[in-house]
Amino acid sequence: MIDRILDKAVAGERLSPEEGLALVQSHDLAAIGRAAEAVTRRLHPEPIRTYNIDRNINYTNVCTAVCDFCAFYRKPKSDEGYVLPREVLLKKVEETVALGGDQILMQGGLHPDFKLAWYEELLSDIKSHFPQVNIHGFSPPELYAFTKVNKLDIRTVLQRLKAAGLGSIPGGGAEILVDRVRKEITRGKVLTDDWLNVMRVWHELGSVSSVTMMFGHVETLAERIEHLERVRQLQDETGGFTAFICWTFQPEHTDMAQIPPAGSFDYLKTQAVSRLYLDNIPNIQSSWVTQGLKMGQLALLFGANDMGSLMIEENVVAEAGTVHFLTLQQIRDSISELGFIPRQRNVRYDFVSLDQEHFAIEANSKPKLVELVQLAS
């Protein structure tokens, strides 16, 4: 039934939304997975699969938005709200560098009080201490909120943050890029067109970003494809997305805990369909953080060519009760076991030098250093 669609995708022809919907409605996981793997090998014929080393630093959990799916945020007047002291944040970056990392993923809630100068100073402080570290920071919901707090247009906000040291933007806060869904699960948060426009302007400034999808909650299958279509259209326009990452909604400890969690079948199928549909995005990243080691490894045979980050620290998913921790050796072994060569890469998916890679391997083999970072997390 879906063979013609799969053959079309494998041959490099673009799928229509109707064809994408037919695939995500299908239960033929094996056939969809084989096709996604064939596309991945066409796009990445080299016998290499990649990973990176970074740390997810959440500088604050204070947030004016209300997201039913989020167990991490705290309201502005909550006793559990925090803002990381600058010395603590810089120490986290230092520990990341000590483990061979070249990037921090820095995100927070939508804090109502901080002006743009606060964020510029934050970026400048990090870059002055660690000029070699890429700051992959501030998701589109944060950046859009900055425009409201500061009464500035998004281009001005992005230009100023880039000048202060922002290197790339993570694709967080996308959830499902369909306003019906966004309005049902969030209040006070950026809607679809403005989310996409943040990325559009950032790409126009010559910079790159990733893009994500959190699925398995209130969206329909057609809305998953609509999300992919909106992403694909913007990539046609700008070419600025380096990678796509999807993961399943983690309901535990959230206001949507009554929703049954999506399983591994749905995860693998959705990721594979994403690889087939997003013909203009070069990299697909596995989500072992939500799926665990073995499913994260299997994702490398269902369209992914990257194992994602060592993720020295992670707080948002952990708050929802899903905690998977992998060592660098486990990540490298999961790639090697499939017959690929593991290589560390940067945000643009360029390989780091072999000297840097070997430094990271050695640093991560020292139990006391790794344990120190885990305790600090």
Q: Domain segments of the chain: what residues?
A: 46-376
**Residue 317: what pLDDT?**
44
Nearest to 110 by CA among 123, 121, 119, 122: 119
pLDDT at 286 over 60: yes
Is the pLDDT at 45 greater than 90? The verdict is yes
What pLDDT was estimated at residue 151? 97
State the pLDDT confidence band at 367, using cuts at 50, 70 and 90: low
Burial 196-206 (b: 16+ CB within 10 A, else e): bbbbbbbbeee
Q: What is the pLDDT of residues 257-266, one digit of tens each?
A: 888 888 999 9
Predicted confidence (pLDDT) per residue in 226-238, tens digit: 999 999 999 999 9
Determine the pLDDT at residue 103: 96
Amino acid letter, 11 = A
How much is the average pLDDT of 185-191? 91
A 10 A CB-CB count for 107 gives 23
**Residue 253: per-residue pLDDT:** 75
pLDDT digit string (tens) for 126-168? 999 999 999 999 999 999 999 999 999 999 999 999 999 999 9
As a CATH number, domain 46-376 is 3.20.20.70
Q: For 51-66, what is the mean pLDDT?
A: 90
State residue 326's pLDDT score: 87
